[in-house]
Amino acid sequence: AAPGEVLLSVRGVSRRFGGLVAVDDLSLDVRQGTITALIGPNGSGKTTLFNLVTGGLPADSGEIWFDGRRIDRLRPWRRCHLGLGRSYQVTRLFKDMTVRENVVAPLADARWRTMLSDAVRGHEAERARELLDLVGLGRFAGQQAGALSYGQQKLVELAQVLMLEPKLILLDEPAGGVNPSLLGRIAEVIRELNAAGVTFLVVEHNIPLVLDLCDPVAVLAGGRLIAEGPPGRVREDPVVLDAYLGA
Ligand code: ADP
């Protein structure tokens, strides 16, 4: 997609759990080149929406389009190969493996799925090193992942997601549990990647960070989109203040 064009389009998507409507006829567009925020109170449907987009959960109704294709019936790994990346709130690194091995790990699965040739391998180590340098962890490449701080592990995860060259990254609480000294670094890495053409959809509870980093900001409440727009406007929207920010 060209800058400003719709990259991800969620169209009238719903998902119920028993009698509970977690995502309620939701429509949301993420445009190429943006760092779009998805905020809202606990239980508003943010994680469910991420799972619907990545394919961890099937939608009950509606359509999801990514980069010009309908993806809501595709298996999660197919969506991943189309350029949809995701990082996780709970770190899923292999703590006993080195940082470098962790960054390359997603490719093992990707190769098995697509029968990529071994010729790619030489580039992998190189690419892993570039990505670790990019997130500022080059000097930790040979260390055990489990020995890094929580915030550093989040940066390793980001490098891991980048290994698959995503067009869009769904980021789940990049700042959650991260020590303040690394927060600025994480925001800077997201900005750099964005400048290099990666689009982001970010769930984050740190509102000052969201307002600083993201544009537009989409606000969910009760599985519905209650506001969307530039951070300055959303921050002052009475509906948002009432449902969320003022709470
Ligand atoms: P958020 O990420 O905004 O906190 P969630 O998407 O996790 O919200 O949850 C939205 C609603 O759906 C909540 O009421 C939650 O309890 C419910 N929910 C989420 N996942 C499940 C599930 N697997 N089974 C039953 N209810 C669920």
Q: So what's the ipTM on this one?
A: 0.98
Q: From the CB of 17, is ligand 1 less than 6 Å away?
A: yes
- Domain of residue 5 covers 1-83+166-247
Q: From the CB of 22, is ligand 1 less than 6 Å away?
A: yes
Residue nearest to atom 26 of ligand 1 (CA): 17
205 with 240, same domain: the answer is yes
Q: Pick from 14, 30, 137: which is nearest to 83 by CA? A: 30
| Cβ neighbours of 8 (radius 10 Å) | 23
Distance 223 CA to ligand 1 centre (A): 9
Residue 76 has pLDDT above 60, yes or no: yes
Examine the fold and report which residue of 165, 186, 211 is the final residue of a domain before the chain moves on. 165
48 with 71, same domain: the answer is yes
Beta bridge partners of 171: 202
Q: Pick from 94, 71, 92: which is nearest to 81 by CA? A: 71
CA distances from 205 to 46, 60, 148, 243 (A): 11, 27, 23, 14
Examine the fold and report which residue of 165, 188, 216 is the final residue of a domain before the chain moves on. 165
Distance 22 CA to ligand 1 centre (A): 6
173 with 240, same domain: the answer is yes
47 with 157, same domain: the answer is no
pLDDT, one tens digit per residue, over 109-123 is: 655 545 444 544 667
In which band, very low, low, confident or very high, does the pLDDT at 181 lie, cut at 50, 70 and 90? Answer: confident
Q: H helices of the chain, where?
A: 46-54, 76-81, 99-114, 121-134, 150-162, 180-195, 207-213, 231-236, 238-240
The chain-wide mean pLDDT, for the chain, equals: 89
175 with 67, same domain: the answer is yes
Distance 43 CA to ligand 1 centre (A): 5
CA distances from 147 to 30, 98, 150 (A): 36, 9, 9
Q: What CATH number does the domain containing 224 carry?
A: 3.40.50.300
pLDDT, one tens digit per residue, over 20-53 is: 999 999 999 999 999 999 999 999 999 999 999 9
196 with 126, same domain: the answer is no
pTM of the model: 0.91
66 with 118, same domain: the answer is no
Distance 242 CA to ligand 1 centre (A): 21
Take residue 5 and report the two structure tokens written for it.
């064009």
pLDDT at 71: 98
Q: From the CB of 48, is ligand 1 less than 6 Å away?
A: yes
Question: If you average pLDDT over each of 25-29, 89-93, 154-158, which comes out highest?
Answer: 25-29
> In whole angstroms, what is the distance from residue 55 CA to residue 8 CA?
14
57 with 159, same domain: the answer is no
Q: What is the mean pLDDT of residues 96-111?
A: 79
Examine the fold and report which residue of 165, 200, 215 is the final residue of a domain before the chain moves on. 165
227 with 206, same domain: the answer is yes
pLDDT, one tens digit per residue, over 189-224 is: 999 999 999 999 999 999 999 999 999 999 999 999
Take residue 138 and report the two structure tokens written for it.
């080059």
134 with 206, same domain: the answer is no
Residue nearest to atom 19 of ligand 1 (CA): 48
118 with 128, same domain: the answer is yes
pLDDT at 179: 85
pLDDT at 88: 66
Element (H, E) at 36: strand 35-39
Q: Pick from 198, 200, 137: which is nearest to 173 by CA? A: 200
40 with 138, same domain: the answer is no
Buried b (16+ CB within 10 A) or exposed e, 19-34: eebbbbebebbbbbbb
Domain count, the chain: 2
